[in-house]
Amino acid sequence: MANTLIFTDTVDSRCGLHCTGCTWKESHGCRGCIPTNGNPFHGECPVAVCCQEKGLVHCGQCPEIPCDLLTSYSCDEENGDSPVGARIEQCKRWAGKA
């Protein structure tokens, strides 16, 4: 199931996924990666941990964007974004790089 993204100016995740109003967040008890320090509903998120270790709010602030890790999350055929790569573009927008 792909994640359909709506671009926004509000930073509410590390990876560019728009969490505000997310049905998964509500139905699975997810508290988001920023408020939980990288531990949303599924346990530790490697993307969030990477940002936190680098002292970044989101991936758009990283000079390595798009890295292999973020690309694998954003472009995964089963759970990735719709359109493919939307999280990467969202992070670039947040950072003013788009």
pLDDT of the chain, 98 residues: tens digit per residue: 455 555 557 888 999 988 887 887 888 888 889 999 999 888 899 999 999 999 999 999 999 999 999 999 899 888 788 889 999 999 999 999 86
Domain holding 55, by residue range, is 23-95
Contact 74, 83 (CB under 8 A): no
* 76 found inside a domain: yes
| In-domain check, residue 72 | yes
pTM: 0.84
Q: Which among 58, 67, 18, 24 is positioned nearest to 38, based on CA atoms?
A: 58
Q: What radius of gyration do the chain's Cα atoms show? A: 12
Cβ–Cβ < 8 Å for 16, 87: yes
The reply to whether 5 falls in a domain is no
Residue 13 in domain: no
Question: Residue 38, Cα to own-chain centre: how many angstroms?
Answer: 11
Phi, psi for 56 (deg, rounded to 5): -105, 150
Domain count, the chain: 1
Q: Has residue 1 been placed in a domain?
A: no
Residue 54 lies in a domain: yes
